[in-house]
Structure formats: structure tokens, C-alpha cells
Amino acid sequence: MANVYDFKVKDRTGNEVSLSDYAGKVLLIVNTATGCGFTPHYEPLEAMYKDLKDKGFEILDFPCNQFANQAPGDEEEIHQFCTMKFGADFPQFAKLNVNGEEADPLFAYLATEKPFEGFGKGLKNAAFKKFTEMNNKTYGDKAYIKWNFTKFLVDREGKVLARFEPTVDMADVRKAVEDLLG
């Protein structure tokens, strides 16, 4: 695959969507969960989306239940939660796997383009790394994504420029998006 535009995914109602539909836009692709300690990331994500969507920015939300079963609902339940609790208005896609033999090819590609480099410094992040390693050990070399709310920044040509682990401050994510938008 040359870039993210070569992939097709399912929207939350099961219809196939080509990511080429987003050509020319800056994308933030995120694997999410409704019952995670990072679920409050929806709030700054939605604020960023509202502020920047008219400048050619899109957030693509992919729920995933592979991390401690933190996204147990079906697509409609997840959508209702996100819209009612956080006002999320950005595109939400079908629940998928991001790790293992059944990992969605999009996330395998994203993680290959921008591999995991750590959660940052400090005891809290070291403890989180140990916890995620235990959760993901069954995926072996196909543990592409370490936890919920991993974010990938994609430029207008479909090239993956950056990976933000869930421990990265959302203000830093926003700054990277704004810098890319110009």
C-alpha cells in the first residue's frame, strides 16, 4: 500500500468506505473505547474537530474492544454514548481489531509506518507500559497498537507523519494538527 487512501473500511452501519474519500484532508485516525480511562480524550478531540474541520481536518474514530474489553457495546450503543456524553460529531466507523491475526489492515499499516516508541518518561508511564505488555502478549509480533486512544496523524497526501500514544498530552496533538494545517 502506498498510503492510507488505498484502504477501505466499514462505517458504523456496515457500509464500505474508501479512505480515498478523505484525500486532500489532514486526518487523525484514532482507536477508541467507551470504558477506558482515556475516554475523556473525546472532549478535546471534539473541540479540535469543531475548530478545525473547516480547514480540511477530519478525525476518523475506530472503536476497538481488544484492551480489557473497554468497548463492549455494539456500534449503535458506542455511537450513542459518544454523541450524548461528548457531543462527538466526527466520523465513527465499525468496531474493529487493531492487533493479532485479525487486525484490520489499516491499523497494521499505520503501526508499521509509525511503530511504537514508548509511553514517555516517569513511573506512571513505566507502570502503564508493563500493564499493556501483559494485555498484549497474546498478540506477539502483531501487537501493533498498545492501548486505546492511539492516534495517527496523516497529511493531505495520505502519508502517516506521527503517532501519538494515549499518554501524550492532547494539547501537543492539537499543536501538531494545527501546524500541519498551516
Catalytic residue check, 36: yes
Exposed, middle or buried: residue 44 (CB in 10 Å: 0-12, 13-18, 19+)?
middle
Selecting among 9, 26, 36, 94, the annotated active-site residue is 36
Read out DSSP for 1-49?
A: --SGGG-EEEBTTS-EEEGGGGTTSEEEEEEE-TTSTTGGGHHHHHHHH
Output the nine-digit C-alpha cell for 18.
Answer: 474508501
Output the nine-digit C-alpha cell for 44.
Answer: 478535546
- Residues with a catalytic annotation lie at 36
